[in-house]
């Protein structure tokens, strides 16, 4: 019987399931429970997302010098990322083309060439096979064909992205879309990580991304964060590309996100390159599809990278990046921002793990978005687009977090929120301001 191979993967959800996620967000439903639990769905995601999309994997600083390399793991693959003598960054599967041995054993370092420890086949820094003894009389054999298998590499703002697809992918900048212009005022290329913490979270990678996408949970889960950036002060952007994001407003007197309350806590950490006076009052949050989050603070950049391990397990690598001049100061101390976000991260992992546990129940099918979660739907719509084998919609959702009139509590003529969260802001007024900026900001 003749079967046709489809160009794009077939839908992994039923038409009804896809349609209910894709409704206008006040009518939409969350992704079905099985997408967070079924090993077959994670396998499908590995094939059609993790091995098909650009994935942020490292910083250029990890291969700062020519001939320096780092070994990384993406989707279970052992990969060498190396900066050549020509300054170009390249990536290869760490697999000898003779009998498949891992060629490089060191985690990182400098390499003149890569020599397989087994039978000493040698590859240059461009991955080309340059020596393989006793192969001169083989039939149908050329060094060119037995070079290390290359991987697509691109860089942006000092980040290294890989695309494991065998075909030529869309250029990274096309994939990132208007995020490139939106963040062009910053220069993150020289930032350096002053601290890295790796977390093992017992939750599906999509639960973690959805959690990062909203601050509906902030008053209860993050009392410390909510004091600095009340959950209802901010806005969302209107993404055209593989991202979604928005910002939160810092309360008067707060200078950044740090454990001591952010009040005067920046000490000797001046704003990062490109930070405007408006940026100094905000924290920006971006999900870079599929596995990275960028949180832009006035004085540092926080980067989360997710590595899905199992349907219910994700490794999260968190880096705190600062300007090199800031790190170089004798009194540089990142502990306030590090401890603030370490606390916030753990608060998030806790609820994500509870969600993973609860959604295992046979009684759970899928839920509804509150009117405070259009960014969660924006993320889910990217998932739904990939599940459907379609490009991302150019305008995935209603991007205004606060465009719904907030019902007043009975007997309260004023706005209760401003006083309730103790920051002195008039919530209704600021929401309007945030909305006006949101529509012009993206």
Give the footprint of Fe ion on this chain (CB under 5 A).
Answer: 348
Contacts of 225 (CB under 8 A, 6+ apart): 218, 257, 340, 344
> In the complex, what is the shortest distance from the CB of residue 44 to Fe ion, in angstroms, rounded to a whole number?
28
Q: Does 121 bind ligand FES (CB under 6 A)?
A: yes
Q: Does 346 bind ligand FES (CB under 6 A)?
A: no
Q: Does 151 bind ligand FES (CB under 6 A)?
A: no
What the block records as the tokens of 248 is: 């939160």
Q: Does 101 bind ligand FES (CB under 6 A)?
A: yes
Q: Which does 118 bind (CB under 5 to 8 A by kind): ligand FES, Fe ion, none?
A: ligand FES
Q: Which does 121 bind (CB under 5 to 8 A by kind): ligand FES, Fe ion, none?
A: ligand FES
> Are 265 and 233 spatial neighbours (Cβ–Cβ below 8 Å)?
no
> In the complex, what is the shortest distance from the CB of residue 57 to ligand FES, in angstroms, rounded to a whole number?
25
Q: Does 99 bind ligand FES (CB under 6 A)?
A: yes
Interface pattern 354-373 for ligand FES (x via CB under 6 A):
--------------------
Contacts of 35 (CB under 8 A, 6+ apart): 12, 13, 41, 204, 206, 383, 387
Q: Does 113 bind ligand FES (CB under 6 A)?
A: no
∠ CA 440-299-192, rounded to 5° = 115
Interface pattern 56-95 for ligand FES (x via CB under 6 A):
----------------------------------------
Q: Which is nearer to ligand FES, 100 or 274 (CB)?
A: 100
Q: Does 118 bind ligand FES (CB under 6 A)?
A: yes
Q: Does 119 bind ligand FES (CB under 6 A)?
A: yes
> Are 9 and 391 spatial neighbours (Cβ–Cβ below 8 Å)?
no
Nearest to 151 by CA among 85, 240, 58: 58
Dist. CA 217–CA 168, nearest whole Å = 40
> In the complex, what is the shortest distance from the CB of residue 102 to ligand FES, in angstroms, rounded to a whole number?
9
Q: Does 123 bind ligand FES (CB under 6 A)?
A: no
> In the complex, what is the shortest distance from the CB of residue 164 to ligand FES, in angstroms, rounded to a whole number?
22
Dist. CA 133–CA 262, nearest whole Å = 62
Rounded to an integer, what is the distance from CA 215 to the centroid of its chain? 17
Q: Does 291 bind ligand FES (CB under 6 A)?
A: no
* Helical segments of 30-117, H only: 39-45
Of 30, 57, 96, 151, which one interacts with ligand FES (CB under 6 A)? 96
> Are 337 and 258 spatial neighbours (Cβ–Cβ below 8 Å)?
yes
Dist. CA 419–CA 153, nearest whole Å = 50
Residues within the interface to ligand FES (CB under 6 A): 96, 98-99, 101, 116, 118-121
């Amino acid at each position: 019987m003749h079967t046709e191979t489809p160009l794009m993967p077939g839908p992994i959800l039923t038409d009804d399931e896809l349609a209910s996620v894709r409704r206008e967000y006040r009518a939409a439903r969350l992704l079905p429970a099985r997408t967070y639990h079924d090993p077959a769905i994670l396998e499908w995601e590995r094939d059609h997302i993790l091995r098909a999309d650009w994935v942020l994997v490292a910083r250029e600083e990890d291969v700062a010098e020519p001939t320096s390399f780092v070994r990384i793991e993406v989707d279970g693959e052992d990969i060498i990322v190396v900066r050549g003598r020509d300054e170009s960054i390249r990536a290869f599967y760490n697999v000898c083309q003779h009998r498949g041995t891992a060629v490089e054993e060191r985690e990182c370092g400098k390499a003149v060439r890569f020599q397989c420890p087994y039978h000493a086949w040698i590859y240059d820094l461009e991955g080309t096979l340059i020596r393989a003894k006793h192969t001169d009389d083989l039939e149908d054999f050329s060094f060119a064909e037995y070079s290390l298998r290359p991987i697509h590499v691109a860089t942006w703002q000092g980040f290294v992205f890989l695309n494991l697809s065998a075909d030529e992918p869309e250029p990274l900048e096309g994939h990132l879309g208007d995020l490139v212009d939106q963040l062009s005022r910053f220069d993150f290329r020289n930032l350096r990580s002053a601290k890295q913490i790796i977390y093992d979270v017992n939750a599906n990678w999509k639960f973690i991304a959805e959690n990062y996408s909203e601050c509906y949970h902030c008053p209860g889960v993050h009392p410390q964060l909510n004091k600095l950036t009340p959950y209802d002060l901010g806005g969302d952007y209107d993404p055209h590309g593989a991202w979604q994001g928005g910002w939160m407003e810092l309360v008067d007197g707060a200078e950044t996100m740090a454990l001591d309350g952010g009040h005067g806590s920046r000490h000797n950490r001046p704003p990062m390159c490109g930070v405007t006076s408006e940026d100094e009052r905000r924290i920006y949050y971006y999900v870079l599809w599929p596995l990275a989050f960028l949180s832009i603070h006035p004085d540092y950049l926080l980067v989360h990278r997710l590595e899905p391990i199992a349907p219910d397990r994700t490794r999260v690598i968190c880096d705190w990046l600062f300007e090199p001049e800031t790190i170089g100061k004798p009194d540089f101390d990142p502990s306030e921002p590090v401890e603030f976000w370490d606390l916030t991260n753990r608060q998030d992992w806790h609820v994500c793990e509870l969600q993973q546990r609860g959604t295992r129940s046979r009684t759970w099918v899928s839920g509804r978005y509150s009117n405070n979660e259009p960014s969660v739907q924006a993320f889910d719509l990217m998932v739904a687009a990939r599940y459907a084998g379609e490009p991302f919609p150019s305008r995935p959702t209603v991007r205004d977090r606060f465009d719904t009139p907030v019902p007043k509590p009975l007997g309260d003529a004023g706005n209760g929120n401003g006083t309730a969260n103790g920051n002195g802001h008039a919530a209704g007024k600021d929401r309007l301001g945030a909305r006006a900026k949101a529509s012009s900001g993206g």
